[in-house]
């Protein structure tokens, strides 16, 4: 089996490690840092807790607190303007995928000319970026270990993927304790995003043995801990397992790529502002069901089911695929994932979402191709909340 595998970031995983960021800043010999986060991180008290010891250590700090969800080109430019005059040695991102991606994009512009739009695609960011330390506060996008930054082009209503060298963090400080106060709905949505990363990486056309190992362990951790993390947010063990699951899923999809659930989630985010995790959670069981139309995927579903602790003994591959789908449906319902219909999307919007989804990069990796008609039918099933097991595609 051929593969090309690497983890772009050095990872430190420990409860409380984010408080010691000043030491990491010293190690990379930075004297001035640019810190990127959003208002939610500020009001949760996370930013102050991490930044106070940095300032106390005599490191000059410039803040950009204006990150928006699904950050746009304009949002990146706004941050870049502040960073460009700050004369900074390193960048620190504190937050979920939105803050980490916005920081990555600002960092690209600090050493590469032009607009962030010029770098859409893979391998276009040629100049070395400044050291970036990512501190994730959701579990999550895995952006702390992926060489991707995802920025919304509001004009085209599209999520741009900027990937490759100079698009990742150099150091990830993964501190599960930071997620203790993450509200239940965001815990649920971001956890389902991580589960979608793991499942899509595992069935991807580009999967490999190292990505599969990470993806399977991620699924086990996420399915075993997400409901507990949502319902009992102060359970540090569940939070730690979720953070680890999200990290491993990030490592997996960074190499293997994603699939149809993400292809649908991106236009839902860029056109309708649906939170990334919610958009994935809504589509995931329908996509798993659709993919199980391929024999080769059914075989993979057996391994996924075992990782998720579903009893596979003496069961056919068809039954196992069905149980996998119903496990995902039950998990989503236990953690109150909303339905597509309640998110301001009408039946008339579905065709456009299908057209946009087909243009997404992750369609290259999804195991079962979909025509426009098939995708429209799948979206209609999601919209109508059709029961899954009886549905024959
Ligand atoms: N680069 C990648 O590899 C990658 C992968 C997947 C998704 N993404 C992108 O990530 C973005 C979504 O990121 P996200 O799902 O992490 O959400 P987010 O970063 O938008 O955060 C969601 C909300 O949660 C709040 N929040 C975050 N952590 C908190 C905490 N510990 N306590 C209290 N509030 C907290 C934030 O303030 C924000 O209001 C999307 O733009 C998506 O496209 C990127
Ligand atoms: Zn995702």
What is the chain's mean pLDDT, rounded? 96
CA distances from 45 to 60, 172, 181 (A): 20, 20, 10
The token duo for 107 is 């960092």
Q: 194 and 168, same structural domain?
A: no
Q: Is the C-beta atom of 268 inside 6 A of ligand 1?
A: no
289-to-92, 106, 317 alpha-carbon distances in Å: 40, 39, 12
Q: Whose CA is nearest to atom 8 of ligand 1?
A: 97
* 350 in Cβ contact with 380 (< 8 Å): yes
CA 76, 78, 81, 86 torsion-angle sign: negative
Query: For position 1, what pLDDT does the model report?
Result: 76
Which residues does 311 contact at the CB level (< 8 Å), separation at least 6?
none
Q: Is residue 133 domain-shared with residue 250, that is, in the same domain?
A: no
Q: Same domain for 92 and 205?
A: no
Task: Tell me what the mean pLDDT of segment 242-257 comes to.
Answer: 98
Instruction: From 69, 101, 119, 127, select the one nearest 269 (Cα to Cα).
Output: 69
List C-alpha distances in Å: 51 to 36, 45, 355.
11, 10, 44
Query: Domain with 279 in it: what CATH number?
Result: 1.20.1090.10
Residue 69 lies in a domain: yes
Per-residue pLDDT, averaged over 303-318, amounts to 95
Look at residue 393 and tell me if it is in a domain.
no
CA distance 116 to 104: 11
Q: Is 327 in the pocket of ligand 1 (CB under 6 A)?
A: no
Which of 47, 67, 73, 97 to probe ligand 1 with, by most ligand atoms within 8 A of CB? 97
193 and 154, same domain (yes or no): no
Which ligand is closest to the CA of 185, given by its number? 1
Residue keyed to tokens 């391994």: 303
Rg (CA), the chain: 20
Cβ of 41 closer than 6 Å to ligand 1, yes or no, is yes
Whether residue 214 contacts residue 248, with contact meaning beta carbons closer than 8 Å, is answered with: yes
pLDDT on residue 391 = 47
Q: Which ligand is closest to the CA of 262, given by its number?
A: 2
DSSP label at residue 353? H
Residue where a domain stops, chosen among 139, 154, 179: 179
Regarding whether 200 and 162 lie in a shared domain, the answer is no
Give the confidence band of 389 by pLDDT, cuts at 50, 70, 90: low
Task: Please tell me the distance from the alpha carbon of residue 149 to that of residue 164, in angstroms, as a whole number.
Answer: 9
Helices (H) and strands (E) counted in the chain, each on its own, are 14, 9
Number of domains in the chain: 2
Q: Is 312 in the pocket of ligand 1 (CB under 6 A)?
A: no
* Chain segment 225-238, per-residue pLDDT in tens: 999 999 999 999 99
Q: Is residue 117 part of a domain?
A: yes
- 3-state SS class at 89: coil
Pick the ligand that lies closest to the CA of residue 250: 1
Same domain, 213 and 359: yes
**Structure confidence by residue, pLDDT tens digits, 10-41:** 999 999 999 999 999 999 999 999 999 999 99
The answer to whether residues 124 and 249 belong to one domain is: no
Q: Are 282 and 337 in contact (CB under 8 A)?
A: yes
φ, ψ dihedrals at 258, nearest 5°:
-120, -160
Containing structural domain, residue 151: 10-179
**Start-end of H helices in 308-364:** 317-334, 350-358
Distance CA 374, CA 50 (A): 48
The answer to whether the CB of 186 is under 6 A from ligand 1 is yes
pLDDT digits (tens, 9 = 90+) for 156-182: 999 999 999 999 999 999 999 999 999
pLDDT in tens, 212-221: 999 999 999 9
Which of 179, 198, 223 is a domain's end point?
Answer: 179
Q: Does 164 lie in the same domain as 261?
A: no
Ligand 2 centre from 286 Cα, in Å? 16
Ligand 1 atom index nearest CA of 104: 1
Q: Are 327 and 218 in contact (CB under 8 A)?
A: no
The per-residue b/e assignment along 147-182, b for 16 or more CB within 10 angstroms, e otherwise, is: bbbbbbbeeeebbbbbbbebbbbbbbbbbbbbbeeb
Residue whose CB lies within 8 A of the most ligand 1 atoms, among 46, 70, 138, for a mutation test: 138
Ligand 1 atom nearest 178 alpha carbon: 31
Task: Give the tokens for residue 332.
Answer: 């989503």
DSSP summary character for residue 129: P
Long-range contact pairs involving 345-348 (C-beta distance under 8 Å, separation at least 24): 345/268, 345/272, 345/274, 345/383, 347/380, 347/383
Same domain membership, residue 189 and residue 169 = no
Pick the atom of ligand 1 nearest to 40's CA. 37
Q: Residues 6 or more apart from 176 whose CB is under 8 A from it?
A: 13, 15, 139, 236, 239, 240, 242, 243, 244
pLDDT of residue 393: 42
Nearest atom (ligand 1) to Cα of 39: 37
- pLDDT, tens digit (0-9, with 9 covering 90-100), for 336-348: 999 999 899 999 9
331 shares a domain with 308: yes
pLDDT at 54 exceeding the cut of 60: yes
Residue finishing a domain among 164, 179, 194: 179
Band (2; pLDDT cuts 50, 70, 90): confident
C-alpha distance from residue 108 to each of 15, 34, 94, 127, 352 (Å): 30, 13, 17, 8, 31
């Amino acid at each position: 089996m051929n593969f090309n595998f690497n983890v772009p970031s050095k990872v430190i995983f420990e409860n409380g490690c984010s408080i010691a960021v000043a030491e990491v800043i010293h190690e990379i010999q930075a004297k001035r840092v640019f810190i990127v986060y959003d208002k939610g991180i500020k009001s949760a008290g996370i930013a102050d807790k991490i930044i106070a010891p940095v300032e106390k250590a005599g490191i000059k700090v410039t803040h950009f607190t204006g990150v928006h969800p699904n950050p746009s080109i304009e949002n990146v430019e706004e941050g870049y303007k502040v960073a460009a005059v700050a004369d900074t040695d390193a960048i620190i991102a504190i937050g979920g995928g939105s803050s980490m991606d916005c920081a990555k994009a600002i960092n690209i512009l600090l050493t590469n000319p032009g607009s962030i739009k010029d770098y859409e695609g893979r391998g276009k960011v040629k100049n070395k970026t400044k050291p970036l330390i990512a501190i994730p506060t959701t579990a999550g996008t895995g952006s702390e270990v992926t060489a991707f930054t995802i920025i919304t082009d509001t004009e085209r209503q599209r999520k741009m993927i900027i990937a490759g060298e100079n698009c990742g963090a150099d150091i990830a400080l993964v501190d599960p304790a930071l997620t203790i106060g993450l509200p239940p709905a965001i815990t649920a949505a971001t956890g389902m995003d991580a589960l979608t990363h793991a499942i899509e990486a595992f069935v991807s056309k580009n999967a490999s043995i190292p990505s599969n190992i990470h993806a399977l362990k991620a699924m086990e951790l996420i399915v075993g801990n997400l409901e507990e993390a949502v319902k009992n947010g102060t359970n540090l063990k569940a939070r730690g397992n979720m953070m680890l699951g999200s990290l491993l899923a990030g490592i997996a999809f960074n190499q293997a790529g994603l699939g149809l659930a993400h292809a649908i989630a991106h236009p839902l985010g860029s056109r309708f502002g649906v939170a990334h995790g919610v958009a994935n959670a809504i589509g995931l069981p329908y996509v798993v069901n659709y993919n199980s139309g391929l024999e080769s995927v059914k075989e993979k579903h057996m391994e996924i089911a075992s990782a998720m602790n579903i009893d596979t003994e003496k069961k056919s591959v068809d039954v196992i695929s069905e149980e996998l789908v119903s496990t995902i449906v039950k998990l989503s319902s236990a953690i109150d994932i909303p339905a597509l219909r309640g998110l301001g999307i009408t039946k008339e919007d579905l065709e456009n979402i299908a057209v946009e989804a087909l243009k997404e990069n992750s369609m290259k990796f999804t195991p079962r191709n979909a025509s426009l008609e098939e995708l429209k039918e799948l979206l209609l099933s999601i919209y109508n909340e059709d029961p899954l097991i009886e549905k024959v595609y």
